[in-house]
């Protein structure tokens, strides 16, 4: 589970890049858009053709919420996206479950046994399953998912989130039964500039 303290800290960016790194490393990776409030994977992969719908936008197909509401089976909502990779003639495949069209009932999924079944199916068929989710301090969705996954990665936007807030988010996740396995400090700026880089002098940088 990828989450953060506040909105906009880089959850979707990190989840997406992590998923792409995994498939480049030869792993079977599945990325789930469990941010049912602000689903964005549709737009991230807008231009990627799915093997099952030949280039149509992922938005047109059912997503994770349909497993609960529409009676779809998990296997039916997984999309196999074609990812172009420089040097790989065939490209690579990334499995994605978008949020899909979500209604007012969407949140029922998070507390239902269907979520456990969904995650079990996803685990059984992939090496790594990544869930993008809403921020912890805003809504409780991530707290409902946290105890059902193997680990939580907390994205912390350096500069906008205080240590206290980040700590509070971590505590909430742990209290909910989640295991925080790591933190990604995003948009980190050491403020020093290139002159302070250990190899700066190597390139004849400044005096």
Sites of contact with Mg ion (CB under 5 A): 11-12, 40
Q: Does 10 bind ligand ATP (CB under 6 A)?
A: yes
The answer to whether 2 touches 131, Cβ cutoff 8 Å, is yes
Q: Which does 135 bind (CB under 5 to 8 A by kind): ligand ATP, Mg ion, none?
A: ligand ATP
Tokens in use for 177? 């039964």
The residues near 63 (Cβ < 8 Å, ≥ 6 apart) are 33, 39, 77, 97, 98, 99, 100, 101, 102
Residues 81-140 that bind ligand ATP (CB under 6 A): 135
Quickly tell me which residue has 């990544």 as its tokens: 130
| Position 73 contacts ligand ATP (CB under 6 A) | no
Residue nearest Mg ion, Cβ-based: 12
- Would residue 84 be called left, alpha or beta, if left means φ above 0 and alpha means ψ between -120 and 50 degrees? beta
CB 14, min distance to ligand ATP, A: 7
Q: Are 130 and 34 in contact (CB under 8 A)?
A: no
Min dist CB 196 to Mg ion, Å, is 32
Considering only 95, 118, 172, 186, the residue that binds ligand ATP (CB under 6 A) is 186
**Interface residue with ligand ATP, options 12, 79, 95, 118 (CB under 6 A):** 12
Closest CA to 124 of 58, 81, 74, 66: 74
73 binds, among Mg ion, ligand ATP, none (CB under 5 to 8 A by kind): none
Q: Does 20 bind ligand ATP (CB under 6 A)?
A: no
**β-bridge partners, 128:** 29
Binding site for ligand ATP (CB under 6 A): 4, 7-13, 35, 38, 40, 135, 186-187
């Amino acid at each position: 589970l990828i989450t953060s303290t506040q909105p906009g800290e880089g959850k979707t960016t990190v989840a997406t890049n992590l998923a792409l790194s995994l498939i480049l490393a030869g792993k079977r990776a599945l990325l789930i858009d469990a941010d049912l409030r602000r689903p964005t994977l549709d737009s991230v992969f807008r231009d990627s053709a799915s093997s099952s719908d030949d280039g149509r936008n992922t938005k047109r197909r059912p997503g994770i919420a349909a497993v609960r509401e529409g009676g779809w089976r998990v296997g039916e909502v997984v999309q196999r996206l074609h990812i172009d990779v420089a040097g790989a003639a065939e490209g690579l495949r990334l499995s994605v479950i978008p949020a899909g069209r979500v209604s007012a009932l969407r949140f029922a999924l998070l507390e239902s046994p269907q979520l456990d079944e969904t995650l079990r199916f996803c685990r059984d068929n992939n090496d790594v399953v990544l869930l993008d989710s809403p921020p912890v301090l805003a809504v409780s969705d991530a707290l409902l998912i946290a105890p059902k996954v193997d680990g939580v990665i907390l994205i912390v936007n350096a500069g906008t989130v205080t240590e206290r807030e980040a700590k509070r988010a971590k505590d909430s996740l742990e209290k909910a039964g989640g295991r925080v396995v790591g933190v990604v400090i995003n948009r980190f700026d050491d403020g020093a500039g290139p002159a302070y880089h250990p190899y700066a002098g190597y390139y004849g940088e400044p005096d």
